[in-house]
Chain A
């Protein structure tokens, strides 16, 4: 088990290095580099200055060499400065990561809390009215683009009803008296982005739970469990759902990446200060250092989730043993 985890961590690191190299290469293909930004900021800059600056920042070096410099700095913990905000990237990443993490996790939990019971109910009464209605809403949920849904939510709940704020992270200028007040205030800002981010995964998870559960309940051991005189509740949860969990875990882990990347659009839409918005604004603003770090962080989060799901597999399914 331990060697398996270690091997997977090494694999994960290799994937991160390869992906970051690809991304680094793509970044250089983008129009505009830092020096061009300086030119546009100061039109009187001379051609000699430009050459000197390019040399100074190492932009005249070949791609592989620049990448090497970047990654060795990164591994030493020097993430560089944001060109737009003139503060270290580390200072920007911390709060952004926390915000995105909170948004993704609450959205994941929220969708699971709704989707799993819904999927189980549908699986126990397949082709019933409840199943058809749930099916309809699930497909609607899967099909609706989150940016459109986000806008609709803002129009209804923020603009027309004025129940919730349209965007942001917390009420500006408000000094919190206690932690409870702080939580309540931040929760208010979290609801709309969380819901718009969750609708798709609710649809997807409930359909997957339904099919995994239907599959599990068809097995012979369900009949054995009933023949032993176990109550319906025990048969459904202990024998049915335990087995349905195995395929579900993969789906959830894979979906976490789409929730994470879905956060990019949602965060931008709701002006929510997370990694997604950071990536967006840094790419638009040619802020390479920030963009690269944010990118590596997102990739790592997704890869770590898939590692976690592999480990969880071994926990739920005793037939899987890691060597």
Chain B
């Protein structure tokens, strides 16, 4: 079976005054039909830039400088502007992080949904309205008919995110990118949205790329996970396996730094230091300056991304991995 999504050697460069900076540096992965890939990493590691690159939403001074993105065999990165408009919001849709700012404040929810439905499904006013209301009901928005003519500011954060999801799913996308869809919401709402998300994915048999910095969320929603740092892949493989036995020191550090249920600790563990600035990235492994297991060669050579011998479904880029 061919995967629905295939990303090969994706590279996105920002041409800054201080010099070019590769926010995404040769990332490759694939997602099968109905599967969810979680992309994890802390702020600034290139998760969102990866998604925007796939949606062709990278703006100057950024540019996708290398790679392929095949959606059902079609290379999206080579489409003309006109053609990409037909794919975006249709075959491929995206949910954004901030439901507060991602909706246009001066247009009604209904209008913003109709625009998209009319464009991709070529429905008339009435059918498009029916479709929009049906979608609002599907995502569990109460009294959907009234909400259809409401403005974004009249809805709560959770309701707005539901509306965003309804909008993204309205044209039956084959591939959905969710960029931290629950980060801006409070915890109880987060749980509801995640649950809704999973049930819809199953119902519509969608292929999903789910971006988050929250490993708890990842273990709930995704089948596979890709851990990213400094624009590169640290390790990738089945979610449960990686969370139970991380091989890359960065993954291990991420897991340790999240609060454990039922445990009281004086202070949460953090990863020392922060993501290095673009021009400060080490020549070798980008994590070298913060890594507890760092070896001399880590500073000078990039560890290649290779399959782990004992776990053929996992890949790792590290010279000095943890024992698994």
Partner-B contacts on A (CB < 8 A): 219-221, 223-232, 234, 238-239, 242-243, 246, 316-319
Which residues of chain A come closer than 8 Å to B85, judged between CB atoms?
229-231
B84-95 interface bits toward A, Cβ cutoff 8 Å, 1 = contact, 0 = none: 111111100110
B94 touches A227 (CB 8 A): yes
In angstroms, Cα B167 to Cα A205, docked, is 36
B103 touches A221 (CB 8 A): yes
In angstroms, Cα B81 to Cα A229, docked, is 10
Q: Which of B98, B102, B104, B119 has the most chain A CB within a 10 Å cutoff?
A: B104
Which residues of chain A come closer than 8 Å to B88, judged between CB atoms?
226-229
The 10 nearest A-B residue pairs measured at CB = A229-B89, A228-B89, A229-B88, A220-B101, A221-B104, A228-B116, A318-B151, A220-B102, A227-B94, A224-B102
Task: Count contacts on B: residues with CB < 8 A to the other chain.
Answer: 31
Across the interface, A221 reaches (CB within 8 A) one of B81, B84, B101, B116, namely: B101
In angstroms, Cα B120 to Cα A246, docked, is 30
In angstroms, Cα B120 to Cα A230, docked, is 10
In angstroms, Cα B81 to Cα A263, docked, is 48
Question: Would you list 15 pairs from A and B whose C-beta atoms are within 8 A, ordered by A residue?
Answer: A220-B96, A220-B98, A223-B57, A224-B102, A226-B88, A227-B89, A228-B88, A229-B84, A229-B85, A230-B85, A230-B119, A238-B115, A318-B108, A319-B106, A319-B153
Which residues of chain A come closer than 8 Å to B98, judged between CB atoms?
220
Across the interface, A228 reaches (CB within 8 A) one of B81, B101, B115, namely: B115
In angstroms, Cα B98 to Cα A221, docked, is 10
In angstroms, Cα B106 to Cα A210, docked, is 19
Which residues of chain A come closer than 8 Å to B153, judged between CB atoms?
318-319
- Say if the beta carbon of B140 comes within 8 Å of chain A: no
In angstroms, Cα B90 to Cα A99, docked, is 55
Which residues of chain A come closer than 8 Å to B167, judged between CB atoms?
228
B151 touches A229 (CB 8 A): no
- Say if the beta carbon of B304 comes within 8 Å of chain A: no
Which residues of chain B come closer than 8 Å to A246, judged between CB atoms?
106
B151: nearest chain-A partner, CB-CB: A318
B185-201 interface bits toward A, Cβ cutoff 8 Å, 1 = contact, 0 = none: 00000000000000000
B94: nearest chain-A partner, CB-CB: A227
B87 touches A229 (CB 8 A): yes
Which residues of chain B come closer than 8 Å to A238, judged between CB atoms?
107, 115
B106 touches A317 (CB 8 A): yes
Which residues of chain A come closer than 8 Å to B151, judged between CB atoms?
318-319
B105: nearest chain-A partner, CB-CB: A319
Which residues of chain B come closer than 8 Å to A316, judged between CB atoms?
106
Measured CB to CB, the closest approach of chain A to B120, in angstroms, equals 6
Which residues of chain A come closer than 8 Å to B86, judged between CB atoms?
229
Measured CB to CB, the closest approach of chain A to B56, in angstroms, equals 9
In angstroms, Cα B140 to Cα A227, docked, is 23
Which residues of chain B come closer than 8 Å to A230, judged between CB atoms?
85, 89, 115-116, 119
In angstroms, Cα B185 to Cα A321, docked, is 27
Q: Which of A220, A231, A316 has the most chain B CB within a 10 Å cutoff?
A: A220
Measured CB to CB, the closest approach of chain B to A66, in angstroms, equals 51
In angstroms, Cα B153 to Cα A94, docked, is 47
A223: nearest chain-B partner, CB-CB: B57
In angstroms, Cα B107 to Cα A246, docked, is 13
A243: nearest chain-B partner, CB-CB: B106
B176-192 interface bits toward A, Cβ cutoff 8 Å, 1 = contact, 0 = none: 00000000000000000
